[in-house]
Structure 1
Amino acid sequence: MDASNLADQSESPITPLLSTDVGDQIELADQTTVQEATKLEGNNSTVLKSSMDPDVFNAAKQGNLDVLKEQGNNLDRMLTATKNTVLHIYTACYRHPTYKESEDEILKSTNTVDDILNMCPALLWQQNESVRALFLATKTYYQGDLEQGCVLSSEDAALQEQKLIRKTNNKNDTALHEAVRFNYFGVVEVLTKEDPEFSYSPNDAGETPLYLAVERGYTRYCLQILEGCKNPTYEGPNGRTALHAAIICNDEVMTRALLKSDRTLAKAADERGRIPLHMAANFCYFSMVKQLLECDKSTAYVADNGGRTALHFAASEGHLDIMKELLTHCPDCCELVDNQCQNVLHYAIESDQNHVVDFVLTDLWLSNILLNAKDANGNAPLHHLAHYPNLAMDNFVHDDKVDIMSFNKENLNAFDIILANEDNISKAVELEYIKKMLQSRYGRPGHRVKNQNDDGNEVEENQGSRDTGESLMKAKETQLVVATLIATVTFAAGFTMPGGYHSESGSDQGSPILSRNTAFKAFVITNTLAMAMSSCSVLVLLYSSVHTKRKHMIQTSDTFYMVVTLTMLALIAMVIAFIAGTYAVLGGHSPGLALAALVLGCFFFYFFAHSILSLESKILKSPHFLRHLYLGIVLIDKLEANIQASVDQVTGIRSHRTPYI
């Protein structure tokens, strides 16, 4: 064999062809002479008995043929504890030649295998407990040398070779499995050419060599197997095929080759009923989607076990380009629903995919089909919006084609669902905004659900509502303490200015010494803001404290949310005021100390503010700031209504309201 060819094939050592545990066993054997275990009668302990001579073992590791020749034909009977032969040991300890080694050194290493087999040909078929096809990979790795050897020189050489190629280990791995797994392209090339008729069944893990190659992204391995094998097997674990793996790898070349080899792979589903198009749509692999649709556009109508099509997956993930491509090939695939009768618009709203909703609204066909379609529970997309409120869905609510008063099977419309969920403080902003939008389109409660029992008595509120109210009241008390403390501290700081006052008589007497300092000005502004916002929080809590009954719970949750926001902003302003005041006092005389105070204050402020801002991320991280500002105005209006309600209760005047039956 030419040395350059050997060097080309030496991309990775041959040792991995032996299982990982075998390598450990051989190392153990070197230290303990590899022993076999027997049980002592009447005792659970184990006695280890030597099974291979240490000199023979070391000779096999080093490739010392002189010592091995002394054993003659007994080599096949000299086994380790896991039935490894001297050939297993040599190949496991074999050091791969480098490109710098001479041709003679390379050939010397490779011919050792031939010499060992010439001593004992039976070693070729010797099997260990874990890797039974080890030598097959070694044989194919040095194909040129072994074809001239005495082992395969008989008339049935072809049958023996085929038997070697098709042989499996205890995990049903063939040599081709091992060659792909450990990146031996030369071995893959030889195996596929020597036995092109063999289809290579899956191993115990459900993997075929082709699936392994595709899953690992070995493009040339995939192409070689498809070209060399007449009937390749495409199966993989979990019911998947090699095409599923190609889609996951986002490899256009392998995808094209697999579809060319077998077009039916486009419709092959895994255990969850998902075909390759579902995965491509879910991962937003546009080129993959395009290839699959060009191969078989009917795959757009195939649903998984949950009834979801590729359009459902694309809508749920917000992949608008994928949706447009699917609708270009199959415009009517939007009519398909899942097992719960939910269409793609239900999925888009539930996943907060605003641009998908806007796309549906601008398309007349899609809007007529999807806007008011109901699922198995009678919920239209608008009902889903009430369950999963989103501030950016105003275009959807304001669309004239949306039925605002649509009822589900529980006789609830979207307004009813919002009212039922208003105790959820984490969604108070979104729910209030959606409610205002519904009211702008004359939406109102449906009044179909009774809150009285058959005897005409009022139904007692459930324990969950009572617990929510109690938790809310305790939280309000905590907020009142915090807001009062901030207001007190900032009020005092306003009259004890940093740096003191001018004491000399004159026009500046009694004025702050640092009044012209920029940092001092920042202190005054932020301290005033902190005092004003905390005082506002205290005021809101005082007026809302009288609204503790169930009928005022909505107002209570809204005002609480407003108080939390004001208190948080006041706390932030107070920290900034402290940093600015400290810097104003120290900056002129101790710039180093002032800078240290500034850095430490900002460092603390960053982590402190981050922990609080995470609780209010829906407001402070929302791109729709103006909507939140608008909602703040709405909440102030509600505060005024609360004040008026308090006055009404004191004076005994009750405003006329339509009862909710």
Structure 2
Amino acid sequence: MHPELLMAACHGVHTQLANLLNSDVNALVQVQHPTTEAGGGSVVVVVDDVDNPASAASTFLLQGLTPHGDSALHVAATFGDGDEYLKSAKVIYGNGGRHLLGAHNNEGNTPFHCAARAANTTVLTLLIDLARGEEATGAGGDDAAAGRMRVETLLRMQNKLGETALHGAIRAAHMPTVDALLTADPCLARVPDTGTSPLFLAVSLHHYGIARKLYARDNRLSCSGPDGKNALHAAVLRSKVLYFYFVHGVRDQHGNTPLHFAVSLESGARGLLPQYAVPVENRTGITTFLNIKEPALDLTKKMLEADPYSAFQADNNGWFPIHVAASAGRLSAVAILVTMCPGCAGLRDIDGRTFLHVAVKKRRYDIVAYACQKVSSSVLNKQDNEGNTAVHLAVEVGDWWIFACLFANKQVDLNLPNNKQHTPRELSIITIPTGLYCLVNSGILIQQALIYTNATRDICRHDGIEKDYTPVAAEDDIIISNSTQFLGLGLVLITTMAFSATFTLPGGYRADDHPNGGTPTLAGLKQFQGFMMANTLALVCSSLAVISLVFSGTPTVELSMRQQHYNISIWLSWNAIISLGIAFAIAVYIMISPIASETAIAVIVVFFSVGILHLPSIAGRFCKFSIVLCARIGILPIVRSDISKVMLLTFWPLIVIYGWQEYAWRHR
């Protein structure tokens, strides 16, 4: 494009445009191609009317395009909407630019697309009037009809994305431009009948006012979207209740109905404490601080009320809406589906899995807990094509909380074998890799729970003769060696604090001129006896734990002894932590209670509360283990089991500390 023409069109300088389009074509050629004088090339100018120089200049200039393929009319329609640009468009059109109304640039856009996308309503209206005037020369009749057809033809032209000028106006979110286009062509929202319709685009871009306007102007408009979707698919994904009716039951190319989309919005679960290291799974959204509640499900309810059969319509993978809701973690959606359509709880996909199987595989604890309370035993024990129940999958996944939820329900059968004749207990044995594990490891807790309930194993020999033996000494050696480094650092800190507390007692020491000079000032208090015992236990347990840790980390010691001392060091470390914490609490109480007893109690409560919150993975799992066992087999078997011994060995410092405190006070 001639640079002077481009600048004038961009700035809307209609006088300069008029002068250019009425100039001498030879002068314009010399400006555009100055190399022709030196013989560096030749320029061939095709002129329609050799007797009219102005027409020749217009023809030559209007053949020029920008690198993007825009003509002068494209530029004028894009860059402004004032009187200057209106006059510029008229000058271009009236000086040989009639053919530019339907010209396409590199993206397939016409000047109508450009004006609509730029929300230049006045220029767009002018272009429509110019198109209508090309055929409608009379007052009505056939000429007026021809003008309407010309306008419809131009407005319904599609670019390379299959979009009309109405799509551009929707992208600009400009209601006056939308009104102007629909006034010129009331049926424009029906184009295209396949692909992304204007209604689908408006909903997907959250322009719901425009969407309602489109539907109000033409209730036969196209609702289509890409890949066989329709506007309702987009509406439910945007969680917006739209006030117009769509045809239910429409499926996309993957077989998804709008209800599949409505229940597919992910619901992230977040614990009490914020996550500073956020695990991210590909193609899965994260839970932010503000995303606490699930999106409203009014549209889901309305869809089920209008079309209850959609809950029983599967996609191409055999997933029903309840499977999708379980996979996405939408507890409220699952509850609505089970409540309004109880039969869908037992629906199975191509693999024979119910929504409970899907929830277990996806680790959706709240949905599994809901299913254990609301669905029948037939659903809880339903087996998939491989014969796996939800308990089998919970064991395979290795999620203790999911397993505990199923385990606590007495209707769940723990002895059903799958197609490989593996029961859940046998599966818990063969799925744990060989190695050294913590006591509260999920796999260990699952296997322990199944053992306590006397769950059955496979009908075969269990002495391991038929299995290949693989030496694992090297792996255990690496695990123990790596663990001792971090554990040793913590134990040294505990020992140092306990040793220091022994010589910096609360309250200090008596003066030398006192009859008992050099002794602790608060030695006569009852709580002081408990403090001394707690501090002593912390020092002794941490010191012995360090010694055991040295043995466990020494390569020259045989593996079995290293494992034994490693377990001893873990046990003593736990006892040292408990003792040191009690010593701190007693010391605070001794120092502050005489003058501020409320503050002393508050400090102790805060200390132990934070301590409990700091160990949810240990204390929480162990408490859950005890609770689900009580629910399954009762309290007496638990009391008689090794759990009582574990509890005694874990919290014996409490008995010793407060027992000694009472004994020393009574026999002083």
Q: TM-score, structure 1 length as denominator? A: 0.66
> What do the CA deviations read for 1:126-162 (whole angstroms, capped 9, x no partner)?
3322353233563892365456555564433223211
Where 1:411 maps in the other structure, the secondary structure is: coil
Where 1:263 maps in the other structure, the secondary structure is: coil
2:345 alignment partner in structure 1 = 334
Structure 1 pair 473–195 and aligned structure 2 pair: CA distance change class (3 A): same
Within a 5 Å distance, the mapping from 1:272-291 to structure 2 comes to 273-283=255-265, 285-291=296-302
In structure 2, how many angstroms separate the alpha carbons of the residues matched to 1:230 and 1:533? 80
Structure 1 pair 57–530 and aligned structure 2 pair: CA distance change class (3 A): farther
Where 2:345 maps in the other structure, the secondary structure is: helix
1:243 counterpart (232, 250, 256)? 232
Where 1:339 maps in the other structure, the secondary structure is: coil
1:183 alignment partner in structure 2 = 173
- TM-aligned CA deviation for residue 299 of structure 1: 1.3
Structure 1 pair 78–377 and aligned structure 2 pair: CA distance change class (3 A): closer
- TM-aligned CA deviation for residue 395 of structure 1: 5.8
In structure 1, how many angstroms separate the alpha carbons of the residues matched to 2:469 and 2:259? 52
In structure 2, how many angstroms separate the alpha carbons of the residues matched to 1:279 and 1:145? 42
1:403 alignment partner in structure 2 = 413
The amino acid of 1:376's aligned partner reads: N
1:126 alignment partner in structure 2 = 103
Corresponding position: 1:509 with 2:494 = no
Point out where structure 2 has 5 or more consecutive residues left out of the alignment: 23-57, 138-142, 266-293, 592-606, 630-637, 650-668
Structure 1 pair 536–117 and aligned structure 2 pair: CA distance change class (3 A): farther
Within a 5 Å distance, the mapping from 1:53-452 to structure 2 comes to 54-70=3-19, 71-72=21-22, 73-74=58-59, 75-94=61-80, 107=83, 109-122=85-98, 123-135=100-112, 138=115, 141-142=121-122, 145=126, 149=130, 151=134, 153-154=136-137, 155=143, 156-197=146-187, 199-201=190-192, 206-229=195-218, 231-253=220-242, 256-259=243-246, 262-265=247-250, 268-271=251-254, 273-283=255-265, 285-363=296-374, 366-387=375-396, 388-391=398-401, 394=404, 396-421=406-431, 423=435, 425=437, 428-446=440-458, 448=460, 452=464
Within a 5 Å distance, the mapping from 1:534-553 to structure 2 comes to 534-535=542-543, 537-538=545-546, 548=559
Contact conserved, 1:548 with 1:556, CA < 8 A, in 2? no
- TM-aligned CA deviation for residue 565 of structure 1: 6.1
Contact conserved, 1:290 with 1:325, CA < 8 A, in 2? yes
In structure 2, how many angstroms separate the alpha carbons of the residues matched to 1:107 and 1:526? 90
- TM-aligned CA deviation for residue 294 of structure 1: 1.9
Structure 1 pair 322–172 and aligned structure 2 pair: CA distance change class (3 A): closer
- TM-aligned CA deviation for residue 165 of structure 1: 0.7
Where 1:299 maps in the other structure, the secondary structure is: helix
1:618 alignment partner in structure 2 = 617
The amino acid of 1:63's aligned partner reads: G
Corresponding position: 1:470 with 2:477 = yes
Structure 1 pair 548–570 and aligned structure 2 pair: CA distance change class (3 A): farther
Structure 1 pair 109–340 and aligned structure 2 pair: CA distance change class (3 A): same
Structure 1 pair 332–171 and aligned structure 2 pair: CA distance change class (3 A): closer
- Range with bigger deviation, 216-225 or 422-431: 422-431
The amino acid of 1:460's aligned partner reads: Y
- Range with bigger deviation, 121-130 or 176-185: 121-130
Structure 1 pair 344–250 and aligned structure 2 pair: CA distance change class (3 A): same
In structure 2, how many angstroms separate the alpha carbons of the residues matched to 1:450 and 1:525? 48
Within a 5 Å distance, the mapping from 1:597-612 to structure 2 comes to none
In structure 1, how many angstroms separate the alpha carbons of the residues matched to 2:548 and 2:648? 10
In structure 2, how many angstroms separate the alpha carbons of the residues matched to 1:403 and 1:543? 45
- Range with bigger deviation, 498-507 or 333-342: 498-507
In structure 2, how many angstroms separate the alpha carbons of the residues matched to 1:208 and 1:195? 15
In structure 1, how many angstroms separate the alpha carbons of the residues matched to 2:568 and 2:362? 28
| Aligned-residue CA RMSD (Å) | 4.8
- TM-aligned CA deviation for residue 317 of structure 1: 4.5
Where 1:428 maps in the other structure, the secondary structure is: coil
In structure 1, how many angstroms separate the alpha carbons of the residues matched to 2:302 and 2:573? 53
In structure 2, how many angstroms separate the alpha carbons of the residues matched to 1:635 and 1:479? 28
Contact conserved, 2:552 with 2:566, CA < 8 A, in 1? no
Structure 1 pair 459–441 and aligned structure 2 pair: CA distance change class (3 A): same
Contact conserved, 1:562 with 1:635, CA < 8 A, in 2? no
Structure 1 pair 89–557 and aligned structure 2 pair: CA distance change class (3 A): farther
Q: TM-score, structure 2 length as denominator? A: 0.66
In structure 1, how many angstroms separate the alpha carbons of the residues matched to 2:485 and 2:426? 31
In structure 1, how many angstroms separate the alpha carbons of the residues matched to 2:628 and 2:572? 14
- TM-aligned CA deviation for residue 374 of structure 1: 1.4
In structure 1, how many angstroms separate the alpha carbons of the residues matched to 2:178 and 2:319? 39
In structure 2, how many angstroms separate the alpha carbons of the residues matched to 1:248 and 1:424? 47
Q: Aligned pair count?
A: 531
Structure 1 pair 492–556 and aligned structure 2 pair: CA distance change class (3 A): closer
- Range with bigger deviation, 142-151 or 378-387: 142-151
Contact conserved, 2:436 with 2:479, CA < 8 A, in 1? no
> What do the CA deviations read for 1:185-215 (whole angstroms, capped 9, x no partner)?
2222333343344532289xx5332221110
In structure 1, how many angstroms separate the alpha carbons of the residues matched to 2:529 and 2:203? 66
Q: Percent identity?
A: 21
